[in-house]
Chain A
Amino acid sequence: MSLFLIVALPFLGALLPGLMNQAGRQACASVTFMVTLSAFVGLLTNAPAVMAGEVVQAGIDWMPLLGLNFTLMLDALGFFFALLILGIGLLIIAYGRSYLAREDNMGEFFTYLLLFQGAMVGIVLSDNILLLLIFWELTSLSSFLLIGYWKHLPEGRQGARMALTVTGMGGLAMIGGMLILGQIVGSYDLSVILQNRELIQDSPLYLPALLLILLGCFTKSAQFPFHFWLPHAMAAPTPVSAYLHSATMVKAGIFLMARMWPVLSGTPEWFVIVTSAGLITMVLGAFIAIFKHDLKALLAFSTVSHLGLITMLLGTGTAFGAMAAMFHIMNHAAFKAALFMSAGIVDHETHTRDIRKLGGLRHLMPITFTIVVFGALSMAGIPFLNGFLSKEMMLEEATHTVLFNSPYLVPVLATVGSLFSAAYCFRLIGHTFLGPKRDDYPSHPHDPGPGLWLPPALLIIPVIVIGCAPFLVQDFVFLVAKAVIGGVDKLEVKYIKIWHGLVPALYMSIAAVVGGLLLMAIYKPLQNLWDKTPRPEAKTIFEAIIAFFVGLAQKIIHPTHDGAFSRYAAIMLGFVTLAGYYAWSTGTVGAPTRELQTAGPVEIAGWLMLVAATIGLVFLHRNRLMALILIGIAGLMVSIGFVFFSAPDLAMTQITVEVVTIILLLLALNFLPKKTPVESSNLRRVRDGVIGAAGGLAAFAMSYHFMLRDAITTPISEFHLANSYKGGGGTNVVNVILVDFRGFDTFGEIIVLGIAALLIYALTETLLDGPVRARLLNRVPDQPIAGDAHPMMMVVLTRVIMPIVILVGFYIFLRGHNEPGGGFIAGLVVSIGIVMQYMASGFSWAAARQRYPYHGVIGAGVLVAGLTGIGSWFFGKPFLTSDFTYVRIPPFHEFELATAALFDVGVFLAVVGAVLLSLESFSRLARRAHVKDPEHPMDINPQRDDQPQGSVVKGGV
């Protein structure tokens, strides 16, 4: 199966559990199982190639210029991890089906699980480190959802947040490290990076890259001092804990260290940092685990400890260490998943995970007992179980490791770690299952159905088989180890054996087991001592750090973001002006290259009117109606300016938009106060005046200099002018640019316009549904209402004019391609025609005659434009490629048919819909504000006697 499909399956499959949720729990779990099974089988189809030592690859370019490509690779290492992720995933899904209670939303759970699974598989199969980072972050996010799955539990939410904070922070560091690595090598492809060991290790940037990447790995894999998040993530449902802590999440950091091993390891820095972090984590985690009463917390700290063990093995930088690490990952995944699931069973059956309340369960739960005994003994390192083999290797490696010039430091600490490890394993068995039967269990424990015990039992099989017959897996382990090592070192071992003779590692092992038993013998006084010893609580420290940063952020943000918009705006505008001044004063300005054109009296008159209206607006803006009139004058002058400076299309657009804007503002003003009171102090007004003057001066200076100089390079407009007719079939270049050259932009713009109108509609609906509605209904207009709401002259005139307006709109639309006009302007013209009906004849009269809802009109417009664009696909051209032809239907002139015109229809419809929907929404507010619409569109109608004739009345024409 293609690697793409293996990665994509969990993500695509994540849609299914949610959909199947209604079909019942069995269906939901089955479909999840099938998705993972398909991916698993797909992975196995690649097994022969991987076993033969090949590297399976698949890739497509995504953003090649950034070095980000969707390339996947499957070598033995990736295969090994993917096998664990998907294989244990299958068991977890089966287990989760029985584990989750009725009130838990199973679809949600399995959706998160599959998302997480997909992200994990993505990490281990990525060939591109940027792609790997994306999957890396996805695991942080999806594990957040999984850990916090029980949203009602505060511990769950806190644990999820802590996990996200710590791993997310590490992920951030990792991004930095990976980018540095990519910069050093000049490629983001793993296969290339892995070939450049010398280049990377000789680079001065090696150390920062190493530190950042290790920060990412250590946070993810819970290495000291970032180990604290993992036990808190135990608030998750047990299937999640089992999955995250055995085969996936926490192994991601280990995986990355293994993946990067050929290029990063072998240096003193790597050795010291990784080995010591691993050692500390191993000993500390094991020590804390001994004293944990919560079964899952005990197992969590044991996971921390074992991750430390693996990290330490990778840190030594020898081929044997890497091999031992891989072997231990395999063994640990098996027994740890089994143990977690068993802890879940105990919790499920006895309703407690507190070891102090348990004990004597071996007769009540014999199956669970058997599973736990094998799993825990393997973890303790007892011969003929798989944990023994890899622990022996670890001890063996430790005896050859010299840290800080001491040949004893590592072996002694490793033995001590193993001793603690043995101790908590014995405690797990002894205090939970052995001892006398109690009569105060919170529930009546007994073995659960096979749905719960079968998955862990299946995992115990490899624990025993590998433990007794390691030669079965040794070839695979060596293959994986070789994939880790790359060409850097040679693996000298030939076999994995149970019996190595009387080597130091054996004595260390014996010492650990015996010591562990002794510790258990004196457990009571030890526990008392532990309880009395004061020790730092990681959660408190973590929370204090977070609180410090939150406080710091608040100190900065609260004074600057105090909700005073006018202050923000003043600061922003002032700053922009200053930045402009800086650019101006430090740059060089060339001499003017264009002649100043002379202005005649008409132009000066127009300018005077614009300036007078604008300045008048500043002084008279408190009278809001007056302000509207003045701004109308300004807009009119701008339109006339457009005509004068050879932009007829702009002028038509500006003047029509001006009309609808003024109507809109009038509608709003109906509700708003009619005067703006004097509020700001003189000082403040002077300040604003200064900012305004400075900004205005800057805008003036910039545009004046701009207009007197020619463009430095030839504007692309030359191309548009040259190709407008040849390529676009139209002589109105502006229109051809809109519907053809830049059609995609226009397509986006009509969508934006439509969204704006829908937003206005939605806001109106919200207002009318909320408390504002009552207020509107009871509102008394603050101004006298005109006696004649629908003056007959106006009604008659608007109705007579309507067909003419439509005709003009149609004409403007049709000629748009060759003469000033087009969809935008035609749409505005037609909208104004319709709005006039609303204004003259009343809302209800106009609304009763409106056949199509304006939402639909907007939608139709966007759809027509979009379909026109898609149409070009059928001719093998890119989206929105235009075409045109000339046809002649006698007796008409020859005329042009262009796909661009169809696109323009879309623009037209979208504009009409958007403008009318916005205005209609505003009017609906007003309509409900008044008591009732008059029943007749015209107050006086000679055809009518005084009896109303229903809502539809024959018009005046």
Chain B
Amino acid sequence: MEFLVASAIGILTAAGIYLTLRLRTFPVILGIALLTYAVNVFLFASGRLMTGNPPILRDGVDVYTDPLPQALVLTAIVISFGMTAVVVMIGLGAFLGADDDHVDDPKADDAAAEDRS
């Protein structure tokens, strides 16, 4: 099971990195979203994996999974929504303003050509 989770983290990270390195805003945003999953799952897994022992206190139950990473990841998920929304808005604004959704600045000579025109 640990192997499955670890490999899932690895694959999410690899795909996230690959997409983050693309040239357009949309795949970069998707890449960041995948990286967010990977990071969240990794943080969560730092409490070690445990099935069937949610951190809800019950009489007669002594073993609970680690609640702290869960609390941290919970806020991380919500914040990552805010972050994604801002990034999407910036990307969208840039596209609407310049009709271009590249993440890289235009090359220096291109920019000069644009200034001249």
A residues with a Cβ closer than 8 A to B are: 562-567, 569-570, 573, 594, 596-599, 603-604, 607, 610-611, 614-615, 617-618, 621, 624, 627, 631, 634-635, 638, 641-642, 644-650, 653-654, 657, 660-661, 664-665, 668-669, 671-673, 676-677, 679-680, 688-689, 691-693, 695-704, 706-708, 710, 715-717, 720-721, 724-725, 731-734, 737-738, 742, 745-746, 749, 752-753, 756-757, 759-760, 763-764, 766-767, 770-772, 775-776, 818-820, 824, 828, 911, 914-915, 918, 921-922, 925
Q: In the complex, what's the smallest C-beta–C-beta distance from B55 to chain A, in angstroms?
A: 4
Asked whether B1 lies within 8 Å of A820 as measured between CB atoms, the reply is no
Asked whether B30 lies within 8 Å of A566 as measured between CB atoms, the reply is no
Asked whether A596 lies within 8 Å of B2 as measured between CB atoms, the reply is yes
Q: 15 A-B contacts, Cβ less than 8 Å apart?
A: A564-B105, A604-B4, A611-B7, A634-B34, A645-B44, A648-B54, A672-B26, A673-B26, A696-B13, A699-B38, A721-B64, A745-B75, A749-B78, A772-B96, A776-B96
Asked whether A733 lies within 8 Å of B57 as measured between CB atoms, the reply is yes
Q: In the complex, what's the smallest C-beta–C-beta distance from A921 to chain B, in angstroms?
A: 7
Distance A107 CA – B21 CA, assembled complex (angstroms) = 52
Residues in B whose Cβ lies below 8 Å from that of A660 = 81
Identify which of A566, A641, A649 contacts B21 (C-beta below 8 A).
A566
With a 10 A CB-CB cut-off, give which of B11, B13, B78 has the most chain A CB atoms: B78
Which B residue sits closest to A573, measured CB to CB?
B17
Distance A596 CA – B84 CA, assembled complex (angstroms) = 35
Identify which of A596, A611, A707, A776 contacts B11 (C-beta below 8 A).
A611
Q: In the complex, what's the smallest C-beta–C-beta distance from B113 to chain A, in angstroms?
A: 15
Asked whether A717 lies within 8 Å of B68 as measured between CB atoms, the reply is yes
Asked whether A647 lies within 8 Å of B54 as measured between CB atoms, the reply is yes
Which B residue sits closest to A770, measured CB to CB?
B97
Asked whether B53 lies within 8 Å of A664 as measured between CB atoms, the reply is no
User: What are the nearest 7 A-B pairs in CB distance?
Assistant: A563-B105, A696-B14, A700-B10, A756-B82, A704-B6, A692-B18, A733-B67
Which B residue sits closest to A604, measured CB to CB?
B4
Residues in A whose Cβ lies below 8 Å from that of B15 = 614-615, 617-618, 692, 696
Distance A317 CA – B64 CA, assembled complex (angstroms) = 72
Residues in A whose Cβ lies below 8 Å from that of B14 = 692-693, 695-697, 699
**Dominant SS among interface residues on chain B:** helix
Identify which of A627, A641, A704, A772 contacts B30 (C-beta below 8 A).
A627
Asked whether A697 lies within 8 Å of B10 as measured between CB atoms, the reply is yes
Residues in A whose Cβ lies below 8 Å from that of B50 = 645-646
Asked whether A650 lies within 8 Å of B74 as measured between CB atoms, the reply is yes
Asked whether B20 lies within 8 Å of A569 as measured between CB atoms, the reply is yes
Q: In the complex, what's the smallest C-beta–C-beta distance from A928 to chain B, in angstroms?
A: 11
Identify which of A562, A646, A665 contacts B88 (C-beta below 8 A).
A665
With a 10 A CB-CB cut-off, give which of A704, A733, A742 has the most chain B CB atoms: A733
Number of interface residues of B (CB under 8 A): 87
Q: In the complex, what's the smallest C-beta–C-beta distance from A706 to chain B, in angstroms?
A: 6
Residues in A whose Cβ lies below 8 Å from that of B42 = 699, 702-703
Asked whether B30 lies within 8 Å of A621 as measured between CB atoms, the reply is yes
Asked whether A695 lies within 8 Å of B13 as measured between CB atoms, the reply is yes
Which B residue sits closest to A756, measured CB to CB?
B82
Q: In the complex, what's the smallest C-beta–C-beta distance from A623 to chain B, in angstroms?
A: 11
Known contacts: A707-B49, A746-B75, A749-B78. The answer to whether A699 contacts B86 by CB under 8 A is no
B71: Cβ under 8 A from any A Cβ:
yes
Known contacts: A566-B22, A688-B18. The answer to whether A598 contacts B78 by CB under 8 A is no
Asked whether A621 lies within 8 Å of B92 as measured between CB atoms, the reply is no
Known contacts: A738-B71, A738-B74. The answer to whether A631 contacts B1 by CB under 8 A is no
B116: Cβ under 8 A from any A Cβ:
no
Which B residue sits closest to A702, measured CB to CB?
B42
B 80-112 binary contact with A (CB < 8 Å = 1; else 0): 111111101111110111000101111010000
Asked whether B56 lies within 8 Å of A732 as measured between CB atoms, the reply is yes
Identify which of B11, B20, B89 contacts A763 (C-beta below 8 A).
B89
B 1-40 binary contact with A (CB < 8 Å = 1; else 0): 1111111111111111111111111111110011001101
B52: Cβ under 8 A from any A Cβ:
yes
Known contacts: A641-B5, A763-B89, A918-B85. The answer to whether A734 contacts B67 by CB under 8 A is yes
B117: Cβ under 8 A from any A Cβ:
no
With a 10 A CB-CB cut-off, give which of B24, B66, B75, B105 has the most chain A CB atoms: B75
Distance A818 CA – B44 CA, assembled complex (angstroms) = 21
Identify which of A597, A621, A641, A737 contacts B27 (C-beta below 8 A).
A621
Distance A611 CA – B34 CA, assembled complex (angstroms) = 12
Q: In the complex, what's the smallest C-beta–C-beta distance from B34 to chain A, in angstroms?
A: 7
Asked whether B8 lies within 8 Å of A610 as measured between CB atoms, the reply is yes
**Dominant SS among interface residues on chain A:** helix
Q: In the complex, what's the smallest C-beta–C-beta distance from A566 to chain B, in angstroms?
A: 5
Identify which of B17, B97, B101 contacts A691 (C-beta below 8 A).
B17
Residues in B whose Cβ lies below 8 Å from that of A766 = 93
With a 10 A CB-CB cut-off, give which of B64, B79, B88 has the most chain A CB atoms: B88
Which B residue sits closest to A624, measured CB to CB?
B26
Asked whether B92 lies within 8 Å of A672 as measured between CB atoms, the reply is yes
Asked whether A737 lies within 8 Å of B67 as measured between CB atoms, the reply is yes
Residues in B whose Cβ lies below 8 Å from that of A697 = 10, 14
Residues in A whose Cβ lies below 8 Å from that of B75 = 738, 745-746, 749, 824
Q: In the complex, what's the smallest C-beta–C-beta distance from A466 to chain B, in angstroms?
A: 66
Asked whether B88 lies within 8 Å of A688 as measured between CB atoms, the reply is no
Residues in A whose Cβ lies below 8 Å from that of B8 = 607, 610-611, 641
Distance A650 CA – B108 CA, assembled complex (angstroms) = 46
Q: In the complex, what's the smallest C-beta–C-beta distance from A397 to chain B, in angstroms?
A: 62
Identify which of B21, B68, B89 contacts A737 (C-beta below 8 A).
B68
Asked whether B47 lies within 8 Å of A717 as measured between CB atoms, the reply is yes
Residues in A whose Cβ lies below 8 Å from that of B104 = 563-567
Known contacts: A614-B11, A646-B50, A715-B66. The answer to whether A562 contacts B108 by CB under 8 A is yes
Q: In the complex, what's the smallest C-beta–C-beta distance from A109 to chain B, in angstroms?
A: 40
Which B residue sits closest to A644, measured CB to CB?
B51
Asked whether A731 lies within 8 Å of B51 as measured between CB atoms, the reply is no
With a 10 A CB-CB cut-off, give which of A756, A766, A771, A775 has the most chain B CB atoms: A756
Residues in A whose Cβ lies below 8 Å from that of B34 = 614, 617, 631, 634
Asked whether B81 lies within 8 Å of A657 as measured between CB atoms, the reply is yes
Distance A776 CA – B33 CA, assembled complex (angstroms) = 28
Asked whether A645 lies within 8 Å of B65 as measured between CB atoms, the reply is yes
Identify which of B55, B84, B95 contacts A646 (C-beta below 8 A).
B55
Residues in A whose Cβ lies below 8 Å from that of B46 = 706
Residues in B whose Cβ lies below 8 Å from that of A565 = 28, 103-105
Asked whether B89 lies within 8 Å of A921 as measured between CB atoms, the reply is yes
Residues in A whose Cβ lies below 8 Å from that of B4 = 599, 603-604, 607
Distance A721 CA – B28 CA, assembled complex (angstroms) = 39
Residues in B whose Cβ lies below 8 Å from that of A732 = 55-57
Asked whether B65 lies within 8 Å of A680 as measured between CB atoms, the reply is no
Asked whether A646 lies within 8 Å of B51 as measured between CB atoms, the reply is yes
Residues in A whose Cβ lies below 8 Å from that of B48 = 594, 707, 710
Asked whether A635 lies within 8 Å of B37 as measured between CB atoms, the reply is yes
Given A565-B103, A599-B1; 16 other pairs, CB 8 A cutoff: A564-B105, A565-B28, A634-B12, A645-B65, A646-B52, A668-B89, A672-B25, A692-B15, A692-B17, A696-B17, A700-B10, A732-B56, A738-B71, A756-B85, A772-B93, A775-B96
Residues in A whose Cβ lies below 8 Å from that of B78 = 653, 657, 749, 753, 824, 828, 911
Asked whether B79 lies within 8 Å of A752 as measured between CB atoms, the reply is yes
Asked whether A597 lies within 8 Å of B55 as measured between CB atoms, the reply is no
Distance A657 CA – B23 CA, assembled complex (angstroms) = 26
Distance A638 CA – B11 CA, assembled complex (angstroms) = 13
Asked whether B26 lies within 8 Å of A669 as measured between CB atoms, the reply is yes
Known contacts: A631-B34, A650-B73, A767-B97. The answer to whether A731 contacts B17 by CB under 8 A is no
Distance A720 CA – B17 CA, assembled complex (angstroms) = 35
Asked whether B21 lies within 8 Å of A596 as measured between CB atoms, the reply is no
Distance A565 CA – B21 CA, assembled complex (angstroms) = 8
With a 10 A CB-CB cut-off, give which of B37, B51, B103 has the most chain A CB atoms: B37
Residues in A whose Cβ lies below 8 Å from that of B10 = 696-697, 699-701, 703
Asked whether A824 lies within 8 Å of B74 as measured between CB atoms, the reply is yes
Known contacts: A563-B104, A603-B4. The answer to whether A668 contacts B92 by CB under 8 A is yes
Identify which of B23, B74, B77 contacts A734 (C-beta below 8 A).
B74
